[in-house]
Amino acid sequence: MSQKHPLHAVPDPSLELSRRDDGFVVTARWQSDTGSDEINGPDEVVIRIHDEAGPEVRRHGITSAVLHRTGRQVDDMVAEFHDMPSVGAYQVMVGRYIESRLAELAQARGATADGFEADLLAVYEDLASRRHADPLGALATATGRTRAVLSRLLDVARQQDDQKGPSRERLA
């Protein structure tokens, strides 16, 4: 008699995050960890009318406006799932600054030249010198990379900087 083997391994219990928004509940579920350092969205998103929603909400149901607001809620839950700071007005401003500064640095060194790690380190140190509460988290949000990946990239930049030795500007 042959034994039946499961086709798929039993996934880890799912992680579920929820947000309430104007009469709706938005729930995001991750069924399993991808094992990757990349940012991943949920495997499932459920939008439902909250039990205590008013008649206006119930009459209109889930509209395109609700779906638009839901996108922001999902972004916030993805950030929470990956231990990244949530997006607010200040974080948006910082994110735009980071993107702009990284583009500026890339253009200055030549887009095909090596140096992305050094650019990240320069922006990280700039944020830290301005006493940003979480420069690594801000970089993670702006670049779509996890803290672990960014930490490795920053370490590479520091090692490269140490190998170059003191620059003429530092000696002057």
Query: 79: left (phi > 0), else alpha (psi -120 to 50), else beta?
Result: alpha
| H/E segment holding residue 29 | strand 24-30
- Whether the pTM exceeds 0.85: the reply is no
Q: Do 94 and 146 sit in the same domain of this protein?
A: yes
Cβ–Cβ < 8 Å for 159, 117:
no
> Is the residue at 5 inside a domain?
no
Over residues 60-108, the pLDDT tens digits come to 999 988 888 888 788 778 877 777 655 555 666 777 788 878 877 777 7
pLDDT at 112: 57
2 or 25, which is more confident: 25
Q: Do 27 and 54 sit in the same domain of this protein?
A: yes
Tell me: pLDDT of 14 over 50: yes
Q: Do 56 and 123 sit in the same domain of this protein?
A: no
Q: Which residues contact 32 (CB under 8 A, 6 or more apart)?
A: 11, 12, 14, 43
Which residue, 44, 65, 82, sits at the end of a domain? 82
Q: Do 125 and 92 sit in the same domain of this protein?
A: yes
Residue 93, helix vs strand vs coil: helix
pLDDT at 99: 81
Distance CA 133, CA 130 (A): 9
Q: What secondary structure letter does DSSP report for 28?
A: E
Work out the angle at residue 46's Cα, subtended by the Cα atoms of residues 41 and 47, and round it to the nearest 5 degrees.
120
Which residue, 61, 82, 103, sits at the end of a domain? 82
End-to-end Cα separation, the chain, in angstroms: 82
pLDDT at 101: 81
* 49 Cα distance to chain centroid: 27
Structural domains in the chain (count):
2
DSSP string across 46-74: EEEE-TT--HHHHHH-S-HHHHHHHHHHH
Cβ–Cβ < 8 Å for 14, 30:
yes
Angle between helices 135-143 and 116-129 (to 10 degrees): 140
> Is the residue at 7 inside a domain?
no
Tell me: pLDDT of 52 over 80: yes
Over residues 29-51, the pLDDT tens digits come to 988 765 666 778 899 999 999 88
Domain around 122: 87-164
pLDDT at 2: 41
Residue 7, helix vs strand vs coil: coil
Over residues 118-170, the pLDDT tens digits come to 888 999 998 888 777 788 888 887 887 888 888 998 998 899 888 876 654 44
Q: Do 22 and 68 sit in the same domain of this protein?
A: yes
